[in-house]
Each structure stands twice: as structure tokens, then as C-alpha cells.
Amino acid sequence: MSWINKILPSISTSSIGGKSKSSVPEGLWKKCPRCDQTLYRGDLERNLDVCPKCDHHLRITARRRIELFLDKEPQEELFVDIEPVDILKFKDLKKYKDRLNAAQKSTGEKDALIVFRGAVEGTELVTVAFEFGFIGGSMGAVVGEKFTQAVNVCIENRLPLVCFSTSGGARMQEALVSLMQMAKTAAALERLREQRLPFISVLVDPVYGGVSASLAMLGDINIAEPNALVGFTGPDVIRQTVRVKLPEGFQRSEFLLEHGAIDMIVHRKKLRNRIVALVRKLLHERYTAAEPDTVAGTEPGSPDSGEEAAGSGVNAESGTAIEETAPEAVTDTGADETAEELSGKEKTSSEVNPGADSEDLDGEDDDPARQ
């Protein structure tokens, strides 16, 4: 059926992807899911979880995302008490309640979205991040409510909002309530627009279904990380429906840029810089070029976004040290858990979009958007 992949499930019980997990000793080493290079965790972390060899942007937890994005001070997590309720007493092969418990245990999160108030290079903002490890980052009532509350905080305090979405879509186990979150978050963002406060939507591999068809596509500025898969319907379902071979790079960031869905592709190393540069322009605030404590190699506001983006998959400065944004503050336990979660997540992805991972972008193709 056509809409199956619009709402990506949480199921991560299949054995797909197990191979890469078992071949790498846990903890210290991690294998890049794209180039298969075995990487030292410390190197990987210093490189913001981007493969130093092939520049693949690995999936990271919501907390790691926030840690990479926000200044260390100030930081305040908001709406930590909002928890999911299984109102429908939903049960498929498993009870939703059990799925929730398992997801809470494995991720340490109460649901699939976390909200922080903080600053980037001193610019105050509110940021939210999806946790893909929590039932596929799916949006149910809690995600919708926390997102909406985050918007409200922005309005009350005149702050911009930055969202990192990575999600399979609406959460089936909350049925129509989850579908309604699409309308709810869209309505909240419309209020933010009326207040002339910027909403920067960052699309992080993968974003599908109800999340892509609501808040994630409503950015004043839409940004994608390189090579992220973003679409409404998953590639498998499209293949089944139209029965043609999908083109190389279909639904990847480069494809989105070419088709006008996003403003730019930004390398993880440059996200902080670029977002602050954008936000300050929209808010008529001054921005002095790259402050000493910012990520290396960025020309804030440089006009070559598409170019930089497109090339990043191929010739990014993969070796560049970026001390400030890859703080040693990562706790050991956090790192270990991350390793496990990551392999789990890559697994979920390949299950959800089988074959998709092999369709890597050839960033150097003829590209009208870059001429």
C-alpha cells in the first residue's frame, strides 16, 4: 500500500544490518555504515560523528545533537515532564505500552523530542531535536505538544526556533491523534511566522511521512545535512507503485536542493555558524565573522551554500580538527550507548528504506543548480 512508509514504524527487530554490528568490537571502534571503514570512536566524536574517511554523516542521538549545537552555557531543557499516554490501549504484535517502555529504556528519553533553550555563539534561541531511536522518531501527542510549547516559548521570549528533525513520520500507535499533530504543529508555526520569528528547519537523515509533511517543511529556511534521505513516501512504496527504477540519489539532500525543496545543504561542521549567520540577518542583528570559538573553515554567510553543500560529500575537509564543537565532555557511558544505538538506528533505516543506502549521491554529477 502506498502510504506504508509515510508512517515509518519503530520495528527494529529484523536482522538486517546486524552484520556491521557484529564485525566491530563494541565501544572503542565503530564501522562507518557507508564506507565500512573501521573508525576509532574518539576520532569519530572529535569529527562530530562524521566519518573522517568518506564524510558520511552518521546518525546521532537527540542529546548529542543538542550538545553539538548549543553553546555549553546557558542551557536549559524544557518540558521534561511531558510523557506519553497510551490512550487507545493500542496493541499490535506488541503492546504500545511495552514499546514505549522499551524505547524509554533504550534511549533514556521519555518520548521522541527534546526541547532546549540556549544559545549558539551567544545568540539566544530555542532548539528541538528528534530522537530517531525512540520508535523511529515518530510524532505522537507528546512530540506535537512539546514542539508547540517550544514555539510558545519562542513567541513569549522573542526567540528563534531551530528544529533538527529525523523521523519516520506519524506514530501509528496513536492513530488519528498522531495525524492531528501535523495540523497542530503547522498551526503553531504559522503563529511563529505571524510574530516574525525565524524558524530554521534542519533535515537530518531520515525524515519521512507526517513529520516531513508538516513542521519539517515549514522552515523559513530549510537546511539539510549532506546525503540525508527526505521525502513523504518511502522509496520502496514508490517503487511498488510506479514500478520503475528510482534515479540515483532520489530523495537525497542534493535531489531536494535541485528540486527547490530546501535552501541549502550544510555540513555538520558548519551548521552552528551558518544557522547563526542566518538567524542574525533575519533578526537584524549584527554578526561579526567567525568568532574564535566557532567551527573551523566556515565563511559565515558565504553565498556558495549550494556549491559547498554539493561538494561536501566528496571533498570536505574531513581531517580538520574542530576542538570547540567536539567537546571532550562526552561521557563514557554516553559514548558507549551511542555506539549501540547507532548501529540499531542504521538497522532501522535500512529496514525502512531497503536499498536506499546503496543509492549514494554522486555529488559531482552535472548539476544545473550549481552552475
Partner 1 sequence: MDPNYLEFEQPIAELEVKINELRLVGSDNELNISEEIQKLQEKNTKLTEKIYSGLSPWQIAQVARHPLRPYTLDYIQHIFTDFDELHGDRLYADDLALIGGVARLDDKPVMVIGHQKGRGTKEKVRHNFGMPRPEGYRKARRLVQLAERFRLPVLTFIDTPGAYPGMDSEERGINEAIAENMALMSRIKTPLIATVTGEANSGGAIAIGVSDYLNMLQYSTYTVITPEGCATILWKSAEYAAQAAEAMGVTSKRLQELGIVDETIPEPLGGAHRDVATAAENIKATLIKQIDRLEQLELDELVTRRYQRLMSYGIHS
Letter for the amino acid at 222?
N
Segment interacting with partner 1 (CB under 8 A) among 55-63, 69-77, 240-248, 316-324? 240-248
* Separation between Cα atoms, residue 144 and residue 138, nearest integer Å: 10
Segment interacting with partner 1 (CB under 8 A) among 20-28, 36-44, 58-66, 238-246? 238-246
Which one of residues 16, 102, 155, 186 is an interface residue with partner 1 (CB under 8 A)?
186
> Is residue 231 a contact residue for partner 1 (CB under 8 A)?
yes
Neighbours of 269 (CB within 10 A): 26
DSSP 111: S
Contact track, partner 1, 49-88, x by CB under 8 A: --------------------------------xxxxx-xx
> Is residue 100 a contact residue for partner 1 (CB under 8 A)?
no
CB of 230 to partner 1, least distance (A): 8
CB of 270 to partner 1, least distance (A): 24
> Is residue 233 a contact residue for partner 1 (CB under 8 A)?
yes
DSSP 30: E
Nearer to partner 1, 261 or 283 (CB): 261
Which one of residues 127, 148, 167, 338 is an interface residue with partner 1 (CB under 8 A)?
148
Segment interacting with partner 1 (CB under 8 A) among 45-53, 140-148, 293-301, 363-371? 140-148
> 41 with 340: CB under 8 angstroms?
no
Segment interacting with partner 1 (CB under 8 A) among 28-36, 70-78, 143-151, 272-280? 143-151
> Is residue 254 a contact residue for partner 1 (CB under 8 A)?
no
> Is residue 179 a contact residue for partner 1 (CB under 8 A)?
yes
Which one of residues 114, 163, 172, 223 is an interface residue with partner 1 (CB under 8 A)?
172
Closest-CA residue to 156 (of 186, 187, 122, 126): 126
Closest-CA residue to 204 (of 247, 135, 265): 265
Which one of residues 189, 224, 278, 310 is an interface residue with partner 1 (CB under 8 A)?
189
Burial of residue 122, with CB atoms counted within 10 A of its CB: 0-12 exposed, 13-18 middle, 19 or more buried: exposed
> Is residue 304 a contact residue for partner 1 (CB under 8 A)?
no
> Is residue 158 a contact residue for partner 1 (CB under 8 A)?
no
> Is residue 90 a contact residue for partner 1 (CB under 8 A)?
yes
- Provide φ and ψ at 208, rounded to 5°: -135, 175
CB of 238 to partner 1, least distance (A): 6
Binding residues among 6-45 for partner 1 as defined by CB under 8 A: 6-9, 11
Closest-CA residue to 274 (of 304, 240, 314): 304
How far is CA 59 from each of CA 2, 56, 73, 92, rounded to the nearest angstrom?
A: 27, 9, 25, 28
Read out DSSP for 161-230? EEEEEEE--B-GGGHHHHHHHHHHHHHHHHHHHHTT--EEEEEEEEE-HHHHTTGGG--SEEEE-TT-BB
Nearer to partner 1, 228 or 339 (CB): 228
